[in-house]
Structure 1
């Protein structure tokens, strides 16, 4: 399969093939999701299922024990997992994102150290970029990295870190020198990425955030106090993290895949309810279901296009896919709840969890308004 960058990649398994391959994993996720949402934590059974499935290595080259997949494969897997439990899909998305960044920007030593562990599931990776007060665009970071006796010392605090307390390695964004100019609407110059392991005595991670949606995603805080790391922890160019940030969009990996899985699950619940209650005999109900299915299909087409990177501007397509799919998931869950009537007003109905999770994706970085800014900014230049 030829792509916009001229490379040829192996065919990606169909959704039907993937669903069959990971049916046992998804069944475990569905079974555990309600209690995990109530407890605000994932049970060990989920991690055992993830590790044994091999799904964690999808974004990693086969030479390191992975599946060698690109964004088209990982997007489909994230969608599949999101139909079972969106909280796990968010953790998986971040794991894939860090795995891909290490694969692309890591030194040979970093790849040898991290990728086999991330591929076999013995380690989980997480991104620690966000800060309270920094804004969605990450241009005003308070976390600082300074040179001390031939090493780097980081001080600061990160919020909304998915997988906090679960991950064994964190990709931390810090200001390593004073910014001299604004060169991006997402991040600024003078910023550097660091791979920091969870057992570093200067790093403390905890969940501690009582979220409305994605409650089992272990989203919380990462505190850095005199966190000392060697030069070997630096990922990519010092002071030029924006190149990696921009590359995330260009890769085609999209949070829209999480939203797509939520929308698909909501549609299926609405369809099953209609058939079970005999409502599918009513033309008005059938037409509403057709409209919901059409929205899901349109969102899937955009997410798939993002993963294939076959458009003139893959980065813009990725942003559009996140925007559109997250809006569709909110619309589909809301309409599905209206179709259910009083049944959807029960607190423990799974559609209500999906609706909360759908809303959360639009607020995840880059948040939807920042996606719009990133797409429209070139129009004013």
Structure 2
């Protein structure tokens, strides 16, 4: 079977340039200070999310017939990167339009698409995504959340952990294992579970990462669902799942590269203005070279993100998977490195509230851990790309 021919323009089209400029203007209107205050006040960035939805940014990748922008993941990655470059990236962009929207648009029935996609596109309906379990980690084959068919209903039982934005969400797209009546075995299946469903409960997980979007543990105790809550085909659940996970990696990559840009912009501005011994500190190679290295690695990660998004948008799903995993690794590394070097450039000021870097220091670890760890990304490249044997 021949692979799709993929073109990847290295520069933005005029439409993409306009999108980037418009999103950046919105991001500057809110900025880091807005997000920090929301986190301190334990509030969501509702105003930013609402305005982004009204301007068509949240659903830019979703089909026009369901209220979306009719563009692709490349455009959604532009939205996420530009927001993040101003210190106000939105974690739920990774989840609601990228993962859930992509899966529903690809596999949902016409009724499901009409039911959920317009709200996801406008931002008025938010869907969280539930896959991670404490005893499964990144091994989705060990998921123990199960859905059993009883009459005309599915009965969901189990639990999930580190699920983002659940109290902001109207529903959670849950990855479960359904009983196959023909074989008696379990197979992956995806269910849209309303957050107000009977038997559904959530518990916030305390973390030291100060973001205005929080993590939750979920519990499903005989949650009853209808067939119309089963997304797509229960026989193709694993394929459907990975069609959603590749967009997750791509938009998470865009968020990480945006964070890196924010850190480097802050450091460069400071290094140009801070004068010691009559010389701006940025003139010293001990500071300028590490910052330049970060900038080079940032541009590499941005190109890798663009490649992954272009492959996904043009239907090269196998190529998109490889590119998305590589891009996610590169972005995670450079975001952590850039923020670390930015703090070092500012010295003591790098730890003050004024510059907004210290708070981002803990957040810079997230792209190296979630939604998939750097170690599992390296496993993927070693085994899938290079043909090396598995250790597990």
Task: Decide whether aligned partners of structure 1 residues 161 and 85 sit closer, same or farther in structure 2, where only a CA change above 3 A counts.
Answer: farther
Alignment match, 1:306: 308
2: CA distance, partners of 1:73 / 1:83: 15
What are the residue-to-residue correspondences of 1:1-381 with 2, within 5 Å?
A: 5-6=4-5, 16-22=17-23, 23-85=25-87, 88-96=89-97, 97-177=99-179, 190-206=187-203, 208-213=204-209, 215-248=211-244, 253-277=250-274, 278-309=280-311, 313-346=319-352, 349-378=355-384, 379=387, 380=389
Q: Are 1:27 and 1:84, in contact at CA under 8 Å, matched by a contact in 2?
A: no
Task: Decide whether aligned partners of structure 1 residues 141 and 268 sit closer, same or farther in structure 2, where only a CA change above 3 A counts.
Answer: same
Q: Are 2:149 and 2:179, in contact at CA under 8 Å, matched by a contact in 1?
A: no
2: CA distance, partners of 1:108 / 1:375: 37
Q: Are 2:7 and 2:310, in contact at CA under 8 Å, matched by a contact in 1?
A: no
Q: Are 1:129 and 1:173, in contact at CA under 8 Å, matched by a contact in 2?
A: yes
Q: CA deviation at 1:6?
A: 4.5
- CA deviation profile, 1:184-213 (whole Å, cap 9, x unmatched): xxxx9611100122232232345x122233
2: CA distance, partners of 1:54 / 1:334: 34
TM-score scaled by structure 2?
0.85
Aligned length: 370
Q: Are 2:351 and 2:357, in contact at CA under 8 Å, matched by a contact in 1?
A: no
Q: CA deviation at 1:26?
A: 4.3
Task: Decide whether aligned partners of structure 1 residues 358 and 197 sit closer, same or farther in structure 2, where only a CA change above 3 A counts.
Answer: same
Q: Are 1:249 and 1:319, in contact at CA under 8 Å, matched by a contact in 2?
A: no
TM-score scaled by structure 1?
0.88
1: CA distance, partners of 2:58 / 2:41: 24
Q: Are 2:339 and 2:360, in contact at CA under 8 Å, matched by a contact in 1?
A: yes
1: CA distance, partners of 2:8 / 2:290: 38
- CA deviation profile, 1:261-289 (whole Å, cap 9, x unmatched): 11111100101111121323445433333
Q: Are 2:191 and 2:229, in contact at CA under 8 Å, matched by a contact in 1?
A: yes
2: CA distance, partners of 1:214 / 1:110: 35
- CA deviation profile, 1:130-181 (whole Å, cap 9, x unmatched): 1111222222112111111221010111111111111112110111138xx9
Structure 2 gaps, min length 5? 275-279
1: CA distance, partners of 2:13 / 2:139: 33
Q: CA deviation at 1:321?
A: 0.4
**SS at the partner of 1:154?**
strand
Alignment match, 2:277: none
